Amino acid sequence: MAREGLWEKIQRYFLYFFLYSVLGWLYEVFLEVVVYRWGFSNRGVLFGPYCPVYGVGALAFLLCFRRLMDVRQPRWVRMVKPVSVFLGCMAVATVIELATSYLLEALTGSWPWQTYLDYKINFEGRIALSPSVRFGLGGLLFLYILQPLFEKMVGILSDRGRRAAFWAVAGLMLIDSACTWLL
């Protein structure tokens, strides 16, 4: 396989961002409708079925833990690695969620997960221990199972197909962002 250029890497990572944003939206809707039985509402900050914060979290996990995942280690390190990845993903996701709550509050006047006030261990309703643990578990699922699958999916696209998918998704999200913030 030839060495990948920066533009190709950007396209690939943007497609991963989108896939994880959609999965994050599905996860949020599942919790809302099936687990908590609150009924359906669009859990994203945009019109479309995606939560960009999940895409940001996934990219952060890749940037923070990719090398750890790829390096071959002795057996004892391989046994400890999932615990390290879990704790790391939990910390990274919690920091992203906290920062996002402040950003969304500044931009829109609120943030979508104020229900954390009902959780025993929370900080200003912005973050809570229970969701942080779920994000740590999600990080394990993401890095060990989903990311290899997504790499195969994006990898089977031709250069032309990858570029077309990138531009289609980027255009969709740009239009959605403009409509969301202007309407």
pLDDT in tens, 148-181: 999 999 999 999 999 999 999 999 999 988 887 7
In a domain, 182, yes or no: no
Place of tokens 């939990």: 90
- The contacts of residue 7 (CB under 8 Å, 6+ apart) are none
Q: Say how many domains are in the chain.
A: 1
Q: What is the pLDDT of residue 114?
A: 66
In a domain, 90, yes or no: yes
The residue segments making up the domain with residue 129 are: 6-153+162-176
**What are 8's two structure tokens?**
């190709």
33 has a pLDDT exceeding 60: yes
1 has a pLDDT exceeding 70: no
Q: What is the pLDDT of residue 67?
A: 82
In a domain, 143, yes or no: yes
**What are 74's two structure tokens?**
């002795």
> Phi/psi zone of residue 42: left (φ > 0), alpha (ψ -120 to 50 degrees), beta?
beta
In a domain, 48, yes or no: yes
CA atoms within 13 A on the CB side of 166: 16
> 8-22, 29-43, 61-75 — which one is most confidently predicted on average?
8-22
In a domain, 183, yes or no: no
In a domain, 1, yes or no: no
Percent of the chain with pLDDT over 90: 48
pLDDT tens, 40-68?
666 666 777 888 888 988 999 999 998 88
Strand partners, 123: 127
